[in-house]
Amino acid sequence: MPSKFSHLYSKNAKEMKASEIRELLKLTERKEVISFAGGLPSPEAFPVDKVREICNYLLDEKGPNILQYGTTEGVTELRKAIADRMVGKGMNINYHNVLITAGSQQALDLIGKTFLDPDDTVIVGAPTYMGGTNAFRSYGALLESVPVDEEGMDPEALEDKIKQLQMHGRNPELLYLVPAFQNPSGVTMTMERRKRVLEIAREYDMVVIEDAPYSELRYSGQAIKPMKTMDEDGRVIYLGTFSKVLAPGFRVAWCIADKDLLNKLIIVKQAADLCTNTFGQHIAAEYLTRGYLDQHLEKIKSLYKHKRDRMLAAMDRHFPAEAKWTKPEGGMFIWVTLPENIDTKEMFTRALENNVAYVHGASFFADRSGRNTMRLNFTYATDAEIDEGIKRLAETVRNEIAMHKKETPAKDFRPDEDGMVFGV
Ligand SMILES: Cc1ncc(COP(=O)(O)O)c(C=O)c1O
């Protein structure tokens, strides 16, 4: 039911729609449904005892101070601990370059608020993280997609896209990337492409957002340095978060940027929330400085590697030859591509009847292509659920393929039916 005040809503708010997928996701909460839909860490991975120990220490030793308002830029101990960690990854920064935000999602919103006027252009991957596209859209930005393949965003296609846009008088301002174990595809951008994409960003004067919530979750293969380590002129804004490596409930994340740009983001954040949750920041600072994060990472990496391998093995066993999927070296997601005439959004109802859930791929494409794709999360389900859920999903896929054998490709997407999709 529309509110009786909806005629007073801002233009932007009027355009923000909840998607039917949210309603569908509610159905996945039925306990008989095995869900690979949400991007959730495993509850087994939350360090409850260590958090309890730190909370007791903080309340006993630091008392009321940690419950006070804090500065907008964040708790200094935490900023320093994060700066040290990022310097260790090769970034040439110090704690004055660090802003603590309420999740990386807030940083995406603040960046949108800082840079975007209605009809400004943002370039995103196809596919990409829907929380990013939604944040930019909420400021009236126009999104343009560039294909992401097994090596990340394709630089040639990026340059072609920019040239095409410029021919129409449009100069893209922001380039949004999730280079490491991308949500949704699990793909990691190669070093060669990172360098080339950065050169292109310099040449066409775009600010690059390097959104890296999964970068510490590598289970195999060689580490690749963040783009921020190659940033010569401060045009890369790097986003990190405790959500996937400690717990998302804290809503503590960090944004690393050139000092002057960071100062602007701080001013913008002041109007949003004054400061990020100080208690959570103190807990995160202790967690880092006591070395608990590194110990914990070892534990969750082995847990998640096991789950990834379990899901890939189950897919090898059960999925039909027509299905293709990524073999991510880290992160939380496997990306599945089905034959072109399969629409995973339509198939979702059948999957639910079979008590298994995923996120249909089109929600990760700004142009709503990718109708034959889907995202599977491998970190949340138990081993037994992975085995059984993949079996059910494979059966659903087989039936769907059999049903569509003689049909023509799926009909075109109609954006107004789907609205915007929110979620991790
Ligand atoms: C690529 C990406 N960016 C940002 C976020 C938001 O993370 P946070 O919990 O720090 O707001 C997510 C969450 O899934 C994500 O996948």
| Judgement on whether residues 36 and 69 belong to the same structural domain of the protein | no
pLDDT, position 423: 52
| End position of a domain, from candidates 269, 292, 315 | 292
In what helix (H) or strand (E) does residue 154 lie, and over which residues does it extend?
none
Residue 213 Cβ inside 6 Å of ligand 1? The answer reads yes
| Judgement on whether residues 205 and 343 belong to the same structural domain of the protein | no
**pLDDT digit string (tens) for 49-69?**
999 999 999 999 998 889 999
Using the predicted structure, report yes or no on whether residue 413 has a pLDDT greater than 50. Answer: no
As a whole-number percent, the residues of the chain with pLDDT over 90 amount to: 85
Closest Cα to atom 12 of ligand 1: 424
DSSP 58-89: HHHHTGGGGGS---TT--HHHHHHHHHHHHHT
| Judgement on whether residues 38 and 152 belong to the same structural domain of the protein | no
Using the predicted structure, report yes or no on whether residue 308 has a pLDDT greater than 90. Answer: yes
Single-letter residue type at 238: Y
Using the predicted structure, report yes or no on whether residue 16 has a pLDDT greater than 90. Answer: no
| Judgement on whether residues 215 and 322 belong to the same structural domain of the protein | no
| Judgement on whether residues 81 and 147 belong to the same structural domain of the protein | yes
Is residue 183 within 8 A of residue 210, CB to CB? The reply is: no
For 57, phi and psi rounded to 5 degrees?
A: -60, -50
| Judgement on whether residues 95 and 168 belong to the same structural domain of the protein | yes
The residue ranges of DSSP E strands in 1-151, in sequence order, are 34-35, 98-101, 121-126, 142-149
pLDDT, position 43: 87
Q: How many helices (H) and strands (E) does the chain have?
A: 14, 14
CA of 317 to the centre of ligand 1 (A): 31
Pocket test for ligand 1, best of 46, 100, 105, 332 (most atoms within 8 A of CB): 105
| End position of a domain, from candidates 292, 312, 336 | 292
**pLDDT digit string (tens) for 127-148?**
999 999 999 999 999 999 999 9
**pLDDT digit string (tens) for 202-226?**
999 999 999 999 999 999 999 999 9
Angle, CA 34 vertex, CA 29 and CA 38 arms, to 5°:
65
Using the predicted structure, report yes or no on whether residue 20 has a pLDDT greater than 60. Answer: no
**pLDDT digit string (tens) for 393-407?**
999 999 999 998 866
| Judgement on whether residues 316 and 393 belong to the same structural domain of the protein | yes
Place of tokens 């939380």: 332
Residue 183 Cβ inside 6 Å of ligand 1? The answer reads yes
Range of the domain at 130: 65-292
Q: How many residues does the chain have?
A: 424
CA of 424 to the centre of ligand 1 (A): 6
CA of 142 to the centre of ligand 1 (A): 21
Q: Domain for residue 128, yes or no?
A: yes
> Which of the residue ranges 26-30, 92-96, 176-180, 255-259 would you say has the lowest mean pLDDT?
26-30
This prediction has a pTM of 0.94
**pLDDT digit string (tens) for 228-267?**
999 999 999 999 999 999 999 999 999 999 999 999 999 9
**pLDDT digit string (tens) for 354-396?**
999 999 999 999 988 999 999 999 999 999 999 999 999 999 9
The residue ranges of DSSP E strands in 314-423, in sequence order, are 324-325, 333-337, 356-357, 359-360, 373-377
| End position of a domain, from candidates 259, 292, 325 | 292
pLDDT, position 23: 65
Q: Domain for residue 363, yes or no?
A: yes
**Average pLDDT for 115-137:** 96
- What pairing do the DSSP bridges indicate for beta strands 207-211 and 98-101? unpaired
Cβ atoms within 10 Å, residue 286:
22
pLDDT, position 288: 97
Is residue 39 within 8 A of residue 183, CB to CB? The reply is: yes
Pocket test for ligand 1, best of 183, 245, 379 (most atoms within 8 A of CB): 183
Distance CA 102, CA 96 (A): 18
